[in-house]
Amino acid sequence: MNILMLSIDRTSFDSGSHLRERLVEYARLGDHLHVVVAVPTRQRTSQTMGTRCTIYPTSRRSKFRAFIESYRTAAHIVKSNPSSFIVITQEEFTGIIGYLLKKRFHVRWQAQIHTDIGSPFYELVFLKNRIRANIAKQILRSADCIRAVSNRVRNNIQRYVPHVPFGVLPIYVDVDRYRMPRKTNSRHSIKLLVIARLTKEKNVGLILKAFADLLKDYKDLSLCVVGDGPFRKKLKKLSRKLGIAKYVHFEGAVDDIRPFLKDADIFVQTSWYEGYGMALVEAMAAGLPVVSTDVGNVGEICKDGISCFAVPVGEKNPLVHALSRLIADDKLREQMGKEARKATTFLLSREEYYREYARLISLCTHEQ
């Protein structure tokens, strides 16, 4: 079986990237792995890794041109022997290509859903999300199988495509990498940590507003925001407007988040929606207590009142209340951090993850 993967991750071409490491493993699951990067890149020629993986670039000019070239490249790859291929797509943009290949060549297609497109908040955050969600719900009816990254994502989308086989496989996280000794808190201050791309759907402004309220009762607090994105200037402006700028540290994007996890006391996630929540899992593996909006894998790996506090999406007062409980109680932070770390011990190992990945491919090919 040959695998054709449609990707929007430009790090496919970056030597030493985590994605490249995963592609090597994915290539072992079939005869050959073809990866078409369906977004503009600077790469001009295809790359090969060993004898079983080829990565193809597309146009540098525009997303539309990249989409057209991606479809043409993918069609050229599968047309000689469609029955020997399975096409894997990762969201609705590449899903359209998978749908077109399915209709034209009757190739088998696995649609991977990494975002909670069935969440009611998904369509509220961006107007374009309503269009994207409607497109996804229509084209997914033609998929041979669907892989969701959490039970929440599956449950929210399955009602639109009840006849399509579904599998749930979370994104693999090497949790051992984050299981470091906790730093002894010799200081009196409490450090809150946010790790997120600074975009609208991450709703980091909510934690800034909650943090401003917390400072009225707790003076020895700080907030560290790790990540970058188009909302960074807007969020820094908001922190100044709220009068909390000297307590908030915007660190930008970093290559290694472990020093920040080690130095923090509480991890906070305030997203409108999540597909899975890798940063949350990494924080739990590091032994941090978590306060998160009820999104992604909250309720699955992260149990409310045990390993985290789950709060309603978009609401400030419950967020302030949950954070206050952890800030005021050293023992509660320690106990919840231990439970968070313990919860990550039940996640799939690398070997188990790739075995399950292969099983879900067989779900599409009807070879179980």
pLDDT at 184 exceeding the cut of 70:
no
Q: How far apart are CA 196 and CA 144, in angstroms?
A: 33
List, for residues 60-104, the tens digit of each pLDDT value. Answer: 778 888 889 999 999 999 999 999 999 999 888 899 999 999 999
Closest to 78 measured CA to CA, from 191, 179, 2 = 2
User: In sequence order, which ranges of 165-248 are alpha helices (DSSP H)?
Assistant: 204-214, 232-241
Phi, psi of 319, deg, nearest 5: -65, -45
Give the H or E element holding residue 97. Answer: helix 92-105
State pTM to two decimals. 0.92
Please state, as a whole number, how many other Cβ atoms lie within 10 Å of the Cβ of residue 275: 24
Confidence of residue 59 (pLDDT cuts 50, 70, 90): confident
> Could you give the domains of the chain?
2-172+348-365 (3.40.50.2000), 175-346 (3.40.50.2000)
Residue 368: predicted pLDDT: 44
- Mean pLDDT score of the chain: 92
How distant is the alpha carbon of residue 356 from its chain centre? Answer: 18
Please report the pLDDT score of residue 183 as a whole number.
Answer: 65
pLDDT at 188: 67
User: Count of CB atoms within 10 A of residue 323's CB?
Assistant: 25
Longest dimension (CA), the chain: 68
DSSP string, 123-187: HHH-HHHHHHHHHHHHHGGG-SEEEESSHHHHHHHHTTSTTS-EEE-PPP--GGGG-PPPPP--S
User: Exposed/middle/buried for 127, CB within 10 Å: 0-12, 13-18, 19+?
Assistant: exposed
- Give the C-alpha separation, 65 to 147, whole Å: 28
Could you report the per-residue pLDDT of 11-31, keeping only the tens digit for each?
888 887 888 888 889 999 999
